[in-house]
Amino acid sequence: HFYVHKLKIIYTIVTIVIYLYSRTALSYSNAQTHLIEQCNCSTRKPEPIRNVNREPISGRMINDTFYMTDNMLKELTIPVLVVIDQNLYHIYGSATENWVKKLFEDVSETFQWLKVNVTVAGIHKWTHGSRIYMNQNAFITLDHFANYNSLYLRSKYKNCYKHAMLLTYNYFTKPINNRKAVEIASLTYYGKICHKNNFHSISIVSALYSKRYLDLFMAHELACNLGIKENSRDCETPSTSINCTLSKENISIESESPWSQCSKQTVLTIV
């Protein structure tokens, strides 16, 4: 009877351990679902590019070379790890993931004109304070986020993303020599996504703006980090306007194409 009683105790302990382990594993699995579904880094095939209606709104004639470039573009997939700061998380709460998804649906549609497929590889939330020093100077904050990406995000998420984007409810400025600093909405390093050591494949974007402008700011920084230069005045667009995604000046919300001929030619050299 003594041995039977002892075996029952051992069996009970083992059962409890297995139960606790399974609960922990399940909790971890649920927390990481959004990442695991997107990643499978070595086996996951790029999502198909949806067809985008390129029919000009105004009906004006478009330069033939613009469409010739379209046909030469090759498909590219950029999985983005989205980092949400504490202030944004407190605003959106349980709706954070849906909010991010809607943002990136529009960003992805913008990039499909270049046959670039932008996907959300994961959403990393700062639920208990900032994980970096947030400075009003955008350049300082960008450098701190680069260090955070290098030391923490890369070790945690490995190669499951190509670009890390910090969405924050902070206000950013850009110092200009001895003059008063000016407001800027977003910032990135130029041409880092395709680098082997892409710790600087990052961007910071202030979410203090309306959704349609926020979409454009996100697309603008992704394009710059990919290596697409901002447009000059001699760049061609279907509407002969420079007001598109990579414009240095006024960003147009409604345009026949979100990319200039210069931007498309640059992508041909990258992909």
Catalytic residues: 221
Q: Report CA Rg, the chain.
A: 23
Q: Which two tokens stand for residue 153?
A: 């995000």
The angle that helices 211-226 and 96-111 make with each other, rounded to 10 degrees, is 60
208-216, Cβ contacts within 8 angstroms, sequence gap of 24 or more:
208/169, 208/170, 208/171, 209/185, 211/102, 211/103, 211/106, 212/106, 212/253, 213/185, 213/251, 213/253, 214/103, 215/103, 215/106, 215/107, 215/110, 216/110, 216/245, 216/251, 216/253
